[in-house]
Structure 1
Amino acid sequence: MKFAVWPSMNDPWHETLAIARHAEATGWDGIYYADHFMPNSADVSGPVGECWTTLAALAAAVPRVRIGPLVSGNTYRHPAVLAKMAATVDIVSGGRLVLGLGAGWQENEHRAYGIEFSTLRGRLDRLEEACHIITSLFANRRTTFAGRYYQLTDAPLEPKPIQTPVPLLIGGGGEQRTLRIAARFATEWNTWGTPQVLAHKGRILEHHCETIGRDPRTIRRSAQALLVMSEDPALVERVRATGRPVMGGSAAQLRAIVEQYAEAGVNELIVPGFNLGRTLDEKLATLDRFNEDVITKVSRE
């Protein structure tokens, strides 16, 4: 199993860079970054870093780990523009980009910035068309596409990304459409969830793969949950009450949870940076504890 860090988009740039460099130096495998323009809360005045410019900077400044958006909202950019951005970041990184892509869900930023917020079906239809376009632009000299939402005519994409193909990570757990789109296009699939949720949705993904004749083993799986390193069960439950999936407990309990993710077919476990501490030193200390007491003690095959 691989392990990655997901710094908070609310952190200032110098902290994001410090966390990424520290993670790389201490053996983590990847860095992810959220793609949003404003907080999803009543108070929208807080700072939020822009995803793709941050990824480009990390690609140049952090030379080993995989990097990518978790995930890029398809509604925010035309897929041909996103493909061009992704190809450039892959080149800057020396071939380390993971192109995370999702349908887009945060309604308040669509409304605030005048970006169309369609129905769920409309957003998933756009996501499916975007997957066609991006994979074609990466693979072919020219792309012509006549969809309901996007149209391309003899469109080039040069220079091509270094990776062939760039890993396309589809984010989301919707069992009827999102997992079907992942089965068709994804090289990786990601969702929030406990080991039990990942095992269940993994079986749904496998069913969609079988329907189209694809080997589900060709799709890597990743997951994230809030990390709570504590021997106080009440603290773990308080964090769980926020509604997000949680992996919490003592080091021994966390090692058991990681093994459960592995048994559920998860290839990469991602640790969000949202609740690791208030200061940079606290965040780095929490990551180091998890690395030393959990990651180094479990199988990374």
Structure 2
Amino acid sequence: MAPTLADSARIADESGVASFTLMDHYFQMETPLSEPDEPMLEGYTALGYVAAVTERMTLGLMVTGVMYRYPGLLAKIVTTLDVLSGGRARLGLGASWYEREQYGLGVPVVPVSERFERLEETIRICLQMWSDDNGPFRGRHYQLAETLCVPEPIGERPPIMIGGGGEKKTLLLAARYGDACNVFATDQDEVAHKLRVLRAHCTAEGRDYDAIAKTVLYNGSVLDNPDRFLADADAYAGLGVDEIQVLPDRHPVSFTHQLGERILPRLAAVG
């Protein structure tokens, strides 16, 4: 697995891919193409390995499950990735959902409403850890006696990306705290709707909508139908999407190699 991960990351980095993400799961997901007992690497350990073999790409998880790590420790983990990668970490955060692995590994399973409360507290803790305030944090779910974080991140701090399209809570948190949001690229009308919701939340929160990077996760095949993918990418760019993320549908090294040769040169002209 290590050579596959390293080769995929190097090819992506050298081809000009902007960001490289891994899933935050401990069991492989149950889908028609995968089973829980198939290999799954722990995300931040794997990103540390990727950081050592790449030079340019932003690195993060798509997205960190809020229940999997205490927030203070998560801030240190992401800071460590940022420092060792030369300032390339991005903190992707979501409410977590895969209950089989949570029950299986003893992770607390709490109601959805509590997960979102913990998500907001986690964001606030990370922001405090990355500020000049080393004092305590007192929340409903987390209490920290001090928020010391040394060494500090490279630059100001890692950007925070909120993943998910929930209109009442997720996009509100993106508007309130996010440097970026991520929604599924189900179709252009749906993405346009989600961005309108985000804009409305930004207005209510007093945030600059244009200051939040818009990213989408593309679900279709990129290599089987490049013309359709490029047309979709152009349409999403027209909606104000800044970054489109793609999933490998074949061996990762082959996928990344073909992405660099067949797609990226054409994608440069999109938008």
When normalised by structure 1's length, the TM-score is 0.84
Residue from 183, 192, 212 that aligns with 1:219: 212
In structure 1, the residue matched to 2:16 is 27
Q: Is the 8 A contact 2:128 2:147 kept in 1?
A: no
Question: Is 2:270 the counterpart of 1:298?
Answer: yes
Report the residue type matching 2:207 in the other structure. R
CA-CA distance at 1:255 after TM superposition: 2.3
When normalised by structure 2's length, the TM-score is 0.93
Q: Is the 8 A contact 1:189 1:219 kept in 2?
A: yes
In structure 1, the residue matched to 2:43 is 51
Q: Distance in 1 between matches of 2:83 and 2:120?
A: 25
Larger mean CA deviation between 135-144 and 176-185 belongs to 135-144
Structure 2 residue ranges without an equivalent (≥5): none
CA-CA distance at 1:129 after TM superposition: 0.7
Residue from 236, 239, 244 that aligns with 1:264: 239
Residue from 237, 262, 266 that aligns with 1:289: 262
Structure 1 residue ranges without an equivalent (≥5): 1-11, 231-247
Larger mean CA deviation between 136-145 and 281-290 belongs to 281-290
Residue from 97, 100, 108 that aligns with 2:100: 108
Q: Is the 8 A contact 2:24 2:43 kept in 1?
A: yes
Residue from 34, 47, 72 that aligns with 2:64: 72
CA-CA distance at 1:33 after TM superposition: 0.9
CA-CA distance at 1:279 after TM superposition: 6.7
CA-CA distance at 1:87 after TM superposition: 0.7
Report the residue type matching 2:267 in the other structure. I
Q: Is the 8 A contact 1:255 1:297 kept in 2?
A: no
* Count of residue correspondences: 267
Q: How does 1:206-285 map to 2 (within 5 A)?
A: 206-229=199-222, 249-251=225-227, 253-273=228-248, 275=249, 277-278=250-251, 280-281=253-254, 284-285=257-258
Q: Distance in 1 between matches of 2:107 and 2:63?
A: 17
Q: Is the 8 A contact 1:196 1:264 kept in 2?
A: no
Q: Is the 8 A contact 1:137 1:143 kept in 2?
A: no
Question: Is 2:123 the counterpart of 1:131?
Answer: yes
Question: Is 2:4 the counterpart of 1:18?
Answer: no
CA-CA distance at 1:146 after TM superposition: 1.3
Report the residue type matching 1:204 in the other structure. V
Q: Distance in 1 between matches of 2:148 and 2:2?
A: 34
Q: Is the 8 A contact 1:191 1:224 kept in 2?
A: yes
Identity percentage over the alignment?
32
Structure 1, residues 122-181: CA drift from partner, whole Å, max 9, x if none? Answer: 111100111110001101241311111100113311111013131001111100011111
Q: Distance in 1 between matches of 2:29 and 2:191?
A: 25
RMSD (CA atoms): 1.7
Q: Distance in 1 between matches of 2:88 and 2:255?
A: 28
Structure 1, residues 106-132: CA drift from partner, whole Å, max 9, x if none? Answer: 111111011111111111110011111
CA-CA distance at 1:73 after TM superposition: 0.7
Q: Distance in 1 between matches of 2:180 and 2:125?
A: 17
Q: Is the 8 A contact 2:91 2:159 kept in 1?
A: yes
CA-CA distance at 1:282 after TM superposition: 5.1
CA-CA distance at 1:256 after TM superposition: 1.8
Q: Distance in 2 between matches of 1:129 and 1:72?
A: 14
Change (3 A) 1:149 1:282: closer
In structure 2, the residue matched to 1:98 is 90
CA-CA distance at 1:13 after TM superposition: 2.4
In structure 2, the residue matched to 1:37 is 26
Q: Distance in 2 between matches of 1:35 and 1:13?
A: 17
Q: Distance in 2 between matches of 1:59 and 1:179?
A: 30
